[in-house]
Amino acid sequence: AQSVTQLGSHVSVSEGALVLLRCNYSSSVPPYLFWYVQYPNQGLQLLLKYTTGATLVKGINGFEAEFKKSETSFHLTKPSAHMSDAAEYFCAVTGGRRGGSNYKLTFGKGTLLTVNP
């Protein structure tokens, strides 16, 4: 079974400041990890994903995340926040094996990012 904990339901930063959204996971198998962004009244857009290989993953819109197995973490960062980054961000995990029951994305509760001018 997998679970995700997102620390901080609301993060507020100034425009141009570092964005750091925290995600810790629990998984009984090697995890595949995702970050999704959801703008108001929209669906979910994939920002980035970690499956295997390089632990530093770069995504769209300047975001990146680092998989740290020893810390069971997958924190999302962006060096400089932009007003357009204001949205809800979801971390998600699924089992890292083909087949079986790894169809299911388990989401964290989400972090609302606000960007102040």
Q: What residues make contact with other proteins under the rule CB under 8 A?
A: 32, 34, 36, 41-46, 49, 51, 90, 94-96, 98-100, 102-105, 107-110
In angstroms, give the least distance from the CB of 85 to other proteins: 19
Task: Tell me the sheet residues that pair with 48.
Answer: 35
CB 55 to other proteins: min, Å: 16
In terms of CB distance, is 17 or 49 closer to other proteins?
49
Q: How far is the CB of 8 from other proteins (least distance, A)?
A: 14
Q: How many CB atoms lie within 10 A of CB 82?
A: 13
Q: Which CB atom, from 41 or from 84, has the smaller least distance to other proteins?
A: 41
CA neighbor of 95 nearest in space, from 48, 43, 29? 29
Nearest CB to other proteins, comparing residues 20 and 46: 46
Q: What does the DSSP 8-state code read for residue 105?
A: P
- In the complex, the smallest distance separating the C-beta of residue 16 from other proteins, rounded to whole angstroms, is 27
Q: Hey, what are 2's tokens?
A: 């997998």
The full DSSP string for 44-71 is EEEEEEE-SS-SEEE-GGG-EEEEEGGG
8 Å CB contact between 78 and 63: yes
User: Toward other proteins, which CB reaches closer, 17 or 112?
Assistant: 112
For residue 76, how far is the Cα from the chain centroid? 5
